[in-house]
Structure 1
Amino acid sequence: MDYFRKNSGTGSNKQASTPIRMRIILGIIFVLFALLIGQLAYLQLAYGSKFKAEVAKTDSSVVSNQVPRGVMYDAKGRILVGNKANNAITYTKSASTSTSQIYKISNALSNYISITDEKPTQEQLAEYYLADQANSTKIASKLPKSQTDSNKLTNSEINQNMIDEVKKEKINFTARQKTAALIFNKISGAYTLSTIYVKNKHLTNREIAQVGEHLSELPGVGIGTDWERSYPNGSSIQSIIGSVSTEKSGLPSDNLQYYLSQGYSRNDRVGTSYLEKEYEPLLKGSKSTSQVTTKGNGDIQQTKSVYKGEAGASLMLTIDAKYQKQVQATLKRVYNSALAAGAARYSNGAYAIAMNPKTGALLAVAGLNHDPKKNKTTDNALGAINQSFVMGSVVKGATVSGGLINKVITPTNNVMPESAIYLPGSAVKKSVYPIGTFGSLDAETALEVSSNIYMMHLAMKWVGAKYIPKQFISMPNNSFDILRRNFNMFGLGQKTGVDLPGEVSGIEGKSFDSQGRIRSGSLLDLAYGNFDAYTPIQLVQYVSTIANGGYRMQPYIVQSVGRTSTDGNKIYINYNKKPNVQQQIPWTPDELNVVRQGFWRVVHGTNGWGTAHPLKNVKPSISGKTGTAQTFYYDPDNPNRKNPPELINATFIGYAPSKNPKLAVAVVFPGLDPDLEGTYTLQVAKAMVQDYFKLHK
């Protein structure tokens, strides 16, 4: 009995102890809650204002905006390329802007402006359509689970499936919705805190007024000013000036990392070719900067100008806009007459370039490109520096000069036999006039009548060739090097260093055949200009060297760099280009006089075989040299065409006045019919000289 009583008492004690443990646990929990509430109350009372300020605090960022590019002026201060100001609707994207907000802004803004010069793509329309949550849900419900499964597909893949579904729907969007889609695309692509142009062309006063009235309803939208390049004096040298990228195209992809490292933004406009590209660091100016203050939620609170920026530097060019127009018009008129006569049927264009022989300043650069297939002609001034042609007899002045400088001939002993060259196994090499017309010629007469034979005999004597007519010819392996070094001395066959990108050095023909033997016949052709190819700008540099007494001047097109006053009426010059002598020809006055006298007689001589007598009565007096070189029509659609038409390149170089020259010119008409050569190059040269001196009396 005691045993059972004891056990019964023990069970009763256990039951009684359970509530006590629960009370202890609950008490501990209560104490912890009390401590937590106390801590929260303490934080609220002691630090509440601090935390509130922390949530509401703002952040500041510095953003930059583009400034107008520098202006380019001609030699007389006329604007060649400037900036046309346009009103613009802008948008500055905040850090907190959501897709739904962009959708609302786009719809609202499309009520006040329309964009008609752009068309949205199907992709852009679909993205705009899906920005509406209701539309997005509707489209998603039409897709099978496999195309919307976020466990198996990325967000971009799902989004693309939805875009493809919208395209299939073939929704008929209104004009306003298309404008909204374009706006949505522009804003969506903007960087945070960057300002973009929503519309910057053809903005009407009504559109500006309506947007202005509703700016409070359009967060981020503003009214500003944009600019675009303008050409108030025509675009005949726009190919020389170059072009600028658009805000849409932004930085060129091939130089993206370079520009980004220089502080550019991806949508910045930069020069993409020629002068715009060559002088980009000067033309771009320094961007304006603003301090943008954003709230804690990312919304823009305030924008304050820090630095208003500075427009790009102004460039004053050496080209006279009026003279440039005249040269381009003359070239086009004369070339059209050649086309009408059938002489330029297979020609690919024509070029004319004028230079100050004493400084190297380019005075006019004109060019035409002709497509024989379409019979279409377009302006191509740039061809004067990046197109190479076999120039013919115009180079004979350099050949004679080399003979004199190297003492192969002298001013008093320069007679050469006028006997045709007979190489074994090849056709006779001779001059244009009949064999036997002259028994021998001196250097001046050889230039006057443009003797090929004289130049070949001079070259053989110069390089030390051994020659027996119809039997044998042998010359040293360095013969081409000897002649080419001489031509290079005058700038022929190498880049002139003009301040434009894209210049080519010309084309050298092969010096040796497949068996390693020197091409003797080709060396003789080189001596009178029928082998290597040169550019028009090389020709004008070469003739300028003769005109100025032996100084090879570097051609240039930018005379000075400065800045334009805010009212646009004054130019403050910071830098002036100084003429650069690249090489001095080691002539004696008597040696130089031989070449100059020969060039004078080309125009003013009395020999019946003189080649530029139509220029004899031009005032002021012209001295110069004509040239023709054999070539063939190249058909790009049929490069292996048999028996292509035989053509000639017609050329002229000259300077005026003959004494104390102030103008040097080069004219090139490639690919003319040899039976219809005419006097086209002389017509252009005559007008270039007369027009220049009328403008510069």
Structure 2
Amino acid sequence: MSYFRKNSGTGNSSQTANTPLRMKVLVGVIVILFAALIGQLAYLQLFYGSRFSAEVNATDENTMTKSVPRGVMYDSQGRVLVGNKAENAITYMRSLSTTSKEMYKVANTLSNYIKITDEKPTKRQIADYYLAESSRAKKVLAALPKSQKKSSLSTSEINDNEVAYVENTLKPSLNSQEKTAALLYNMMSGATTLSTINLKSSGLSNKEIAQVGEHLSSMPGVGIGTDWNRYYPNGSSIKSIIGSVSTTKTGLPRDSLQYYLVNGYSRNDRVGISYLEKEYEALLKGTKASYKVTSNSSSEITKTKQVYKGQSGASLKLTIDAKYQAAVTKALKQQFNSALSAGAASLSSGAYAIAMNPNTGAILAMSGISYDPSTGKITDNALGNINQSFVMGSVVKGAQVAGGLINKVITPTNNTLPDTAIYLPGSPVKKSVYPTGTFSSLTAASALEVSSNIYMMQLTLRWVKASYVAKQYIHMPQTAFETLRNNFAMFGFGQKTGIDLPGESPGIQGASTDSNGIILSGSVLDESYGNYDAYTPIQLVQYISTIANGGYRMQPYVVQSIGRTSSDGKHFYTYYNKKPTVQFKIPWTADELAVIKRGLYQVVHGSNAWGTAHALKNVKPSISAKTGTAQTFYYNTKTKKSTDKELINETMVGWASSNHPQIAFAVVFAGIDPNKEGNYNKNMAKSMVTTYYKMYKGKFSSTN
């Protein structure tokens, strides 16, 4: 026992002896590390203390913008067509450090004081609002399967899974106040940092303004400001030409989102989304007011200074007179309703009328109506003049005769052709409206007066050098369609006119060959008198203007000048005036042109019993014109089927006065019952001309 005690004692003595040494080493290391740390801190304090202090107290500068009123549009006489009506608005500015939690709180608070009843939140908006509350978001995340929240997924993917769970599984039901809060929250979330958006402006009551004003301190970012809405003090008949503007709720169009963002727009900015509002967006939007915002290291705004007060959008003065536009629209509706009452338009798709200054290309009026036979509903569709195509019939014959003259198939002194119908193997006879054999031959001018289809076909056979034996065969060269279409294209047919409105159609070109690549010879003949390819009303008025003014194809336009409206709204200062643009000069001689003009004058003033517009002979001032009809069928847009019932497009083009053209016009009544054909096109033409000259009485020195 003593042996073991002795050894045990010896072991304890050795351990006791070694412990102070280890402690000394450990303490020494610690002392050295502390000394190094203190030394480093002293070094940083002495040499970099001022720099760190500056960084702590540093401020950051950012730019804040605010929208300005959109440009005004005037008619040719200075009347406001579309302006801005100021309204009170509840606004919101998202700060640099605003969190989703804070926006959720503000939205709930604000929903106590205002209501949004004209819009319902979408499923996605409800889900986003639901997940903005942290406790609910945690429960949803916990409920997700592991595969939908694994670490390999991105944050956005997990969020999408959470949204889907809320939409499809929880399907939360919100009361009216919560729906308003959901809409507010989503608008706030979509706001760009330091940009001001409107949460509500339309229908804002005085009570709502007062309540919000009393509680602004409890809703960071919310304010009371002014907003503007487009209004139309001279009626909405021209609204479809002007176009529309998006709302702060819809914001930037999705299909052009990146374009607008790159160009400095905010997601909630309102932009032109159709026609003139869209075409001239860059000018109409103006330049936003700019503010320099200073914030501290905690992202709190400490100072706001205006750098640029902003500039309202540029104003546009149009070529269209609001009163004349209204008169043309009224007359068009009256004529169409007359056609409906007579049973002639029961399957019609609508009617269109357009007037242009033939010397400049300025559009004087553009009216249109669409008709739905299945519902009987009539709607304004002025833009149908540029985006709706129709087979126009004989109105194009002036261009066909011009082609024959220019290409020396006929001449001013030798243009008589036999009026012999065309007989093709296995096809109905191709003839004019009047009985076969009525005329043995016709001159070019007489052919225009009586609207001879035969003359145009006989001209074509000679022009394209076709081989033809009645009832046996006809051989057209492969270039026949190209020959006729190139000639029509000189007058603007089959191509966009270049009008300063988006969405213009070039028309519709029929097939040139069959499935075997063989040219459709009969269709070439149909093309020659306007019964094959389809054109737009604006192409018609450009074409007839080209004849009226002596051969200059003018580019149509609706914006005459661009400028600035004075702050009191009483003056318009012009920056830019549109100059007429000649797109092409027809290469005819004066004598060749005289043949065509004589024929179009005789359409109205001739003595042949088969003349097509003699009913307008006594109209003052004198009218030169061409009528047309073309076969068509009713197409049901709902069933996507056409009926077998044959209809006609009733058309007319012309100008006045005959010797001093000041107005050119084109009229189309689509899908009229041929058994109940009336004078709707002629009545419309008369109204357009007489109203124009009455309205501008004394403006023109001669009206002969």
TM-score scaled by length of structure 2: 0.90
Q: 1:53 to 1:386 in 2, by over 3 A?
A: same
Corresponding residue for residue 217 of structure 1: 218
Corresponding residue for residue 359 of structure 1: 360
Q: How does 1:544-559 map to 2 (within 5 A)?
A: 544-559=545-560
Q: 1:144 to 1:184 in 2, by over 3 A?
A: closer
Over aligned residue pairs, what C-alpha RMSD do you find? 3.1
Q: Distance in 1 between matches of 2:6 and 2:380?
A: 125
Residues 1:437 and 2:450 aligned together: no
Does the 8 Å CA contact 1:371/1:377 hold for their aligned counterparts?
yes
Residues 1:195 and 2:199 aligned together: no
Residues 1:113 and 2:114 aligned together: yes
Q: CA deviation at 1:679?
A: 0.4
Counterpart AA for 1:588 = T
Q: 1:45 to 1:368 in 2, by over 3 A?
A: same
Does the 8 Å CA contact 1:147/1:161 hold for their aligned counterparts?
no
Corresponding residue for residue 312 of structure 1: 313
Residues 1:264 and 2:265 aligned together: yes
Q: Distance in 1 between matches of 2:7 and 2:373?
A: 127
Q: Distance in 2 between matches of 1:592 and 1:500?
A: 31
Counterpart AA for 1:695 = M
Q: Distance in 2 between matches of 1:345 and 1:34?
A: 101
> C-alpha deviations, 1:535-586, integer Å up to 9, x for none?
1111111111111112111111111111212222211111111111122223
Q: Distance in 1 between matches of 2:12 and 2:48?
A: 55
Corresponding residue for residue 389 of structure 1: 390
Corresponding residue for residue 419 of structure 2: 418
Does the 8 Å CA contact 1:522/1:531 hold for their aligned counterparts?
yes
Corresponding residue for residue 673 of structure 1: 673
Corresponding residue for residue 235 of structure 1: 236
Counterpart AA for 2:242 = I
Does the 8 Å CA contact 1:63/1:193 hold for their aligned counterparts?
yes
- Secondary structure in structure 1 of the residue aligned to 2:323: helix
Residues 1:655 and 2:661 aligned together: no
Corresponding residue for residue 664 of structure 1: 664
Q: CA deviation at 1:450?
A: 1.1
Q: CA deviation at 1:169?
A: 6.7
Counterpart AA for 2:187 = K
Q: Distance in 2 between matches of 1:347 and 1:507?
A: 19
Residues 1:348 and 2:349 aligned together: yes
Q: CA deviation at 1:6?
A: 14
Residues 1:464 and 2:480 aligned together: no
Corresponding residue for residue 684 of structure 1: 684
Corresponding residue for residue 483 of structure 1: 484
Q: 1:444 to 1:571 in 2, by over 3 A?
A: same
Does the 8 Å CA contact 2:128/2:163 hold for their aligned counterparts?
no
Q: CA deviation at 1:12?
A: 5.3
Corresponding residue for residue 536 of structure 1: 537
Q: 1:35 to 1:416 in 2, by over 3 A?
A: closer
Q: Distance in 2 between matches of 1:638 and 1:102?
A: 49
Q: Distance in 1 between matches of 2:166 and 2:605?
A: 81
Q: CA deviation at 1:630?
A: 1.4
Segment of structure 1 superposing worse, 678-687 or 630-639:
630-639
Corresponding residue for residue 519 of structure 2: 518
Q: Distance in 1 between matches of 2:312 and 2:50?
A: 47
Q: CA deviation at 1:126?
A: 5.1
Q: Distance in 2 between matches of 1:466 and 1:225?
A: 75
Q: Distance in 1 between matches of 2:151 and 2:485?
A: 72
Q: CA deviation at 1:69?
A: 2.1
Q: Distance in 1 between matches of 2:473 and 2:137?
A: 88
Residues 1:86 and 2:87 aligned together: yes
Corresponding residue for residue 255 of structure 1: 256
Does the 8 Å CA contact 1:394/1:625 hold for their aligned counterparts?
yes
- Secondary structure in structure 2 of the residue aligned to 1:523: helix
- Secondary structure in structure 2 of the residue aligned to 1:316: strand
Q: Distance in 2 between matches of 1:640 and 1:223?
A: 55
Does the 8 Å CA contact 1:126/1:167 hold for their aligned counterparts?
no
> C-alpha deviations, 1:71-126, integer Å up to 9, x for none?
22111111222222222211222232233322332232223322222223455445
Q: 1:399 to 1:145 in 2, by over 3 A?
A: closer
- Secondary structure in structure 2 of the residue aligned to 1:201: coil
Corresponding residue for residue 634 of structure 1: 635
Counterpart AA for 1:658 = S
Does the 8 Å CA contact 1:140/1:162 hold for their aligned counterparts?
no
- Secondary structure in structure 2 of the residue aligned to 1:633: strand
Q: How does 1:24-39 map to 2 (within 5 A)?
A: 25-26=26-27, 29-30=30-31, 32-33=33-34, 36=37
Q: CA deviation at 1:262?
A: 2.4
Q: How does 1:504-653 map to 2 (within 5 A)?
A: 504-637=505-638, 644-653=644-653
Q: Distance in 2 between matches of 1:367 and 1:166?
A: 44
How many residues align? The count is: 692
Q: Distance in 1 between matches of 2:363 and 2:145?
A: 70
Q: CA deviation at 1:657?
A: 0.9
Q: 1:169 to 1:250 in 2, by over 3 A?
A: closer
Q: 1:194 to 1:413 in 2, by over 3 A?
A: same
Q: Distance in 2 between matches of 1:308 and 1:398?
A: 55
Q: Distance in 2 between matches of 1:535 and 1:318?
A: 20
> C-alpha deviations, 1:600-654, integer Å up to 9, x for none?
111122222111122122111111011111122233455566x610111111011
Please list every run of 5 or more consecutive structure 1 residues that lacks an aligned counterpart in the other structure.
none
Does the 8 Å CA contact 1:127/1:163 hold for their aligned counterparts?
no
Corresponding residue for residue 204 of structure 1: 205
Q: How does 1:6-45 map to 2 (within 5 A)?
A: 15-16=16-17, 18-23=19-24, 25-26=26-27, 29-30=30-31, 32-33=33-34, 36=37
Q: CA deviation at 1:259?
A: 2.5
Q: Distance in 2 between matches of 1:163 and 1:479?
A: 61
Segment of structure 1 superposing worse, 333-342 or 214-223:
214-223
Does the 8 Å CA contact 2:91/2:225 hold for their aligned counterparts?
yes
Q: 1:419 to 1:61 in 2, by over 3 A?
A: same
Does the 8 Å CA contact 2:140/2:162 hold for their aligned counterparts?
no
Corresponding residue for residue 77 of structure 2: 76
Q: 1:295 to 1:603 in 2, by over 3 A?
A: same
Q: Distance in 1 between matches of 2:144 and 2:78?
A: 69
Counterpart AA for 1:520 = S
Q: Distance in 2 between matches of 1:220 and 1:640?
A: 56
Q: Distance in 2 between matches of 1:510 and 1:518?
A: 9
> C-alpha deviations, 1:172-212, integer Å up to 9, x for none?
64433332332222223333333222222222223223322
Q: 1:20 to 1:273 in 2, by over 3 A?
A: same
Q: Distance in 1 between matches of 2:679 and 2:166?
A: 68
Does the 8 Å CA contact 1:399/1:487 hold for their aligned counterparts?
yes
- Secondary structure in structure 2 of the residue aligned to 1:534: coil
Q: Distance in 1 between matches of 2:509 and 2:151?
A: 65
Q: Distance in 1 between matches of 2:586 and 2:44?
A: 90
Please list every run of 5 or more consecutive structure 2 residues that lacks an aligned counterpart in the other structure.
698-704
Corresponding residue for residue 696 of structure 1: 696
Segment of structure 1 superposing worse, 615-624 or 40-49:
40-49
Corresponding residue for residue 373 of structure 1: 374
Does the 8 Å CA contact 1:278/1:500 hold for their aligned counterparts?
yes
Q: 1:597 to 1:28 in 2, by over 3 A?
A: closer
Q: CA deviation at 1:256?
A: 2.6
Counterpart AA for 2:260 = Y
Q: 1:140 to 1:464 in 2, by over 3 A?
A: closer
Corresponding residue for residue 700 of structure 2: none
Q: Distance in 2 between matches of 1:476 and 1:174?
A: 74
Does the 8 Å CA contact 2:144/2:162 hold for their aligned counterparts?
no
Q: 1:353 to 1:49 in 2, by over 3 A?
A: same
